[in-house]
A and B are shown apart, each in its own frame.
Chain A
């Protein structure tokens, strides 16, 4: 049982990385990116493609991918997504949903439907023996640590830097922020750039831990979304806890019956929605 819980918590670390980008984009500009999962998969495939050409460590690849992802996200927001923001959620939903179709089918065409993964030189099979006869994988542990660090980093960034202040300002009241001299579209683009850095990181780690296939995106989106909502909007640590709760629930579900693991995660998500619609740790920014 302890092993199941531990594995669930570690799985939650990965889900947290899926979710942080979503949490960031929604927090700053109320944009629901329905292609979140597909971008994670795209990031994974970018790393897979790069690793087939360059024989370097996947960690180096992940680091190299970050600025690229930032630039990609920045341009995507400036050129496409900024035009879809507004009171009506439809344009941004349709555009990101369209992007999701484009990415899925593009990847299918380029890489076929076979699941792929990134070679980690055995890292993904190494494990640590803990006292009490419990073993945990080294890679999941690393991913968990990265997720916790990313969450702490984001929370710090929002609270202690000028750009974080700008993020909070446009989130709280865009018009006043603009009157104070902020260019909201530029701020949004930076936020999306950061979100895409996290997305790329999540993609590389997902491909290192297990496999990715072009059609995986929607499921990853749902996990990210559930983590954000369970945790409560506007709080990165909330997202972190939400992801752990989701991972643990799924792991318990898988343990009970492999067919019901994800289902149980969905049910707990809906249960939280009924009992505590604002999420566990909602935070109004300001």
Chain B
């Protein structure tokens, strides 16, 4: 980066300069407190929940964490990186399969294999990016879907992992159900919280600012000395890693994997749905969206086809009528961002601009 280009970044970076008027407001401070309380409640849940339902609550929350992580990563990729993808299930499935193979065949503790699966997904994303980045815009979206299909068909033909019908995570056999559930829950919760925090910290940082600049105008960002290609690659790989982590965790909780479950396009469909409903390009978007989606899934999931049809319609209506999503709507109504999950870079940027 040239010295000239680093100037605006320096001013917005932590050492308090004249422009760093409000990087946190009343809203975001109370949000931080509320978030801490929520996380504390979730972390201690296995001990205070009624004994007969603690196990099912844990399972639901593990699932929720995986959806949330998938959505947060999709939001990072599409909402901040400008790379709209319908193929993120490639990394979800790859993370899951790697975890399972390392555990079943490599004798590695499945819980250790979870981060390894994520790292491998991220590593594979580096060479894959050279293919995927040949396409832009809508064609990138479908091209990444093709890549996910290559993985799906590849694993479906791999007899060592059960081919098309899949296989079970046998490596967990020696571990008691209670330990297994508690460990999965702990890791899922910690991962989800860490992921949201990391994305938040990243977006507040200088590099986060660079990413926002790229999203707003690639050419202008490049002319300011930002390494656009490098930044996009970093975001792509980070998203693959995070999505792989979600996949590895999901299938530790699920105990069974199959190519159709791991690489189904519905994962991306749900992520798109969550992020668009919640509000794309804002950290709260996937959080709100995941909560809404999970609630819908809980109460309406039994309606099957009608439910999915409704989700599709809702995505269409929100995209056309409420481009900013639920959270954008809330932010518009409560002009001062009083709604207390507000913890976004915007105050800093806004103050710098207006």
**CB nearest neighbor in A for B317:** A98
SS class, residues of chain A in contact with chain B: helix
B352 CB-CB contact with A under 8 Å: no
Residues from chain B with a CB closer than 8 A to the CB of A266 are: 146, 149-150, 153
A65 to chain B, nearest CB (A): 24
Which of B193-201, B227-235, B285-293, B301-309 is the contact stretch? B301-309
Which of B18-26, B91-99, B131-139, B334-342 is the contact stretch? B131-139
B:134-178 near A, CB below 8 Å: 134-135, 137-139, 141-143, 145-147, 149-150, 153-154, 156-157
What 0/1 pattern do residues 109 to 153 of A give for CB contact below 8 A with B?
100000000000000000000000000000000000000000000
Q: A95–B145 contact, CB under 8 A?
A: no
A72 to B139, CA, bound (A): 24
Residues from chain B with a CB closer than 8 A to the CB of A156 are: none
A222 to B152, CA, bound (A): 14
A92 CB-CB contact with B under 8 Å: yes
B265 CB-CB contact with A under 8 Å: yes
A48 to B137, CA, bound (A): 35
A157 CB-CB contact with B under 8 Å: no
Q: A32–B141 contact, CB under 8 A?
A: yes
Select B84's contact among A31, A93, A106, A222, beta carbons within 8 Å: A93
A50 CB-CB contact with B under 8 Å: no
B283 CB-CB contact with A under 8 Å: no
Residues from chain B with a CB closer than 8 A to the CB of A109 are: 305-306, 309
A159 CB-CB contact with B under 8 Å: no
Q: B305–A93 contact, CB under 8 A?
A: no
Q: A273–B135 contact, CB under 8 A?
A: yes
Select A225's contact among B142, B309, B314, beta carbons within 8 Å: B142
A87 to chain B, nearest CB (A): 9
A234 to B295, CA, bound (A): 44
A:163-202 near B, CB below 8 Å: none
Q: A105–B143 contact, CB under 8 A?
A: no
A50 to chain B, nearest CB (A): 23
Residues from chain A with a CB closer than 8 A to the CB of B78 are: 90
A99 CB-CB contact with B under 8 Å: yes
Q: A89–B146 contact, CB under 8 A?
A: no
B121 CB-CB contact with A under 8 Å: no
Q: A99–B312 contact, CB under 8 A?
A: yes
